[in-house]
Amino acid sequence: MGSQDEMMAALIGRSLGLGPEWTVVRVEIEEPVGKPAELHVYVERTPGHALPCPRCGCDHGVYDTRERTWRHLDIWQYKTFIHCRLPRLDCPGGPVTAEVPWASPQSKHFTALFEAQVLLMAMSSMPVRGIARLVRENDTRVWAMLNRIVGEAHSRADFSGVTQVGVDETARRRGHSYISTFVDLDGGRAVFCELGRDASTVASFAAELEAHGGDPAAVEVVTCDLSPAFAKGVAVHLPNAKRVADRFHVVQIASRQVDKVRVAESRESKEKRALLAKSKHIWLKNEDNLTERQAARKRELSRERLKTARACQVREALQAVYECETRGEAEAELDALCSWIMHSNVPQMKEVAKTLRRNRDEVLNYFDHRLTNAVLEGMNSVIQSAKRLARGFRNPEYFKTVIYLKLGKLTFPQLEVCATH
């Protein structure tokens, strides 16, 4: 190589973090027909320098070599590739591939710096299709890379301190199956995602917890909705956990019934249809979230002796139960509320009272622990963005990858490599 070529090779070698064991032997610019020019960097083992065996740590001779190519960060706007005849070392335990400083042993196609670039883009909520377009790669290859990197990081996660868990589910698409997300409420991190929302989902979570150093028997509290299947799963697989009915789900049950009352009542006559037209959000919003105009209309409609107004009062009374300071106070208020509902003439709301009585202990457990799925609610916007990033859930593994990436509080060696370059 000429002096200019040697300077370029040394510069690229430094960017790759090469030690004395490796040498950039040549750099070429190729111009494929009908495609932009590409930069190809050829690296070889430096003669006379031994390579440590990844398996035993000893120096061994070379058993054979195999050509491998990695996509690297663009250099001077050229799509850049690293080529190396990668040695396999003659270890007594069998031939083992030598490790290289520019890529992890698990990465067969990309350098660590390239992976770090893609990882940072994905963590910034850029859609994978957009990332693929920017780095000029196929989006399927980008997804495969992210699945592997995040999977490796998640496999190293420590769940030994997980004792309080929140569970929520997100529909893959309207009318389709669900994916459940389990969150460590103390750590504020997503620890497990699984397709489904039944007892088997809880069983899978318990197994995952054990695999990461956790103990299902050490889980003290689980906040979730009122699903009987979830209840069964918690009782069997998290035997010492108290189930806390998430307050937002409980109030949501009442809100749905309020809307059913509104729809049914609006069909009773033309007058009621006119009165209740475009009033859905007036009944479902909290009082302090109403605009002045909405609040005025709600007061006006409340004077019309509407069933919807009475149903709304039930929902508001249920919310007021959660303002109680003790379990005993809440117990008395809840029992009084259920009695009032059952003696009302709004049949749809009686279903709310039946649900509350059926799940009385779980509802009241809130007042012992004061835990909610608020952490999950706060993560909800990220979960919804994950839904978009993961191609609308067509592949559940994509969704899980995005959730762990953005909400798992994982550590990525690729980013540490990036920081040293």
Which pair of tokens denotes residue 95?
């031939």
- Do residues 62 and 18 both lie within one domain? yes
Q: What angle do CA 397, 167, 360 make, to 5 degrees?
A: 155
Same domain, yes or no: 295 and 393: no
In a domain, 129, yes or no: yes
Same domain, 70 and 9: yes
Residue with tokens 């105009």: 293
Q: Which amino acid is at 245?
A: A
Q: What's 195's domain CATH number?
A: 3.30.420
**Shared domain check, 183 and 148:** no
Rounded-to-integer distance, Cα 150 and Cα 141, Å:
14
What span, in angstroms and rounded, lies between the C-alpha atoms of 184 and 159?
9
Domain check: are 229 and 358 in the same one?
no
Give yes or no for a contact between 237 and 203, defined as CB atoms under 8 angstroms apart: yes
- 159 in a domain, yes or no? no
Q: For position 80, what pLDDT does the model report?
A: 95
Rounded to whole angstroms, the Cα distance separating 295 from 104 reads 60
Residues 76 and 192 in one domain: no
What is the predicted pLDDT for the residue at 17?
A: 84
Q: Please report whether residue 157 resides in a domain.
A: no
Contact call for residues 243 and 224 (beta carbons, < 8 A): yes
Secondary structure in 3-state letters for the chain: CCHHHHHHHHHHHHHCCCCCCEEEEEEEEECCCCCCCEEEEEEEECCCCCEECCCCCCEECEEEEEEEEEEEEEECCEEEEEEEEEEEECCCCCCEECCCCCCCCCCCCECHHHHHHHHHHHHCCCCHHHHHHHHCCCHHHHHHHHHHHHHHHHHCCCCCCCCEEEEEEEECCCCCCEEEEEEECCCCEEEEEEEECCHHHHHHHHHHHHHCCCCHHHCCEEEECCCHHHHHHHHHHCCCCEEEECHHHHHHHHHHHHHHHHHHHHCCCHHHHHHHCCCHHHHHCCHHHCCHHHHHHHHHHHCCCCHHHHHHHHHHHHHHHCCCCCHHHHHHHHHHHHHHHHCCCCHHHHHHHHHHHHCHHHHHCHHHHCCCCHHHHHHHHHHHHHHHHCHHHCCHHHHHHHHHHHHCCCCCHHHHHHHCC
- Residue from 405, 378, 401 nearest 391 by CA: 401
Burial 379-403 (b: 16+ CB within 10 A, else e): beebbeebbebbeebeebebbbbbb
d(CA 313, CA 307): 10
pLDDT along the chain (421 residues), means of 10: 74 86 92 91 88 87 89 93 92 89 88 94 88 93 94 96 91 72 93 92 97 98 91 96 93 96 95 94 93 94 94 96 96 97 94 97 93 73 70 72 92 74 56
82 and 19 housed in the same domain: yes
Residue 375 lies in a domain: no
185 and 251 assigned to the same domain: no
What residue numbers bound the domain in which 309 lies? 247-369
Report pLDDT for 396. Answer: 78
Q: Answer for the pair 275, 269: CB distance below 8 angstroms, yes or no.
A: no
256 plus 350 within the same structural domain:
yes
Residue 394 placed within a domain: yes
- The C-alpha R_g of the chain, in whole angstroms, comes to 30
Q: What does the alpha-carbon distance between residue 52 and residue 232 come to, in Å, rounded to a whole number? A: 53
Same domain, 65 and 143: yes
Same domain, 278 and 181: no
Is 67 inside a domain boundary? yes
Q: For the chain, what is the domain count?
A: 3
Distance (Å) of CA 83 to CA 23, 100, 109, 293, 373: 12, 12, 11, 69, 50
Q: Is 374 inside a domain boundary? A: no
- Environment class of residue 52 by beta-carbon count within 10 Å: exposed (0-12), middle (13-18) or buried (19+)? middle
Residues 75 and 147 in one domain: yes
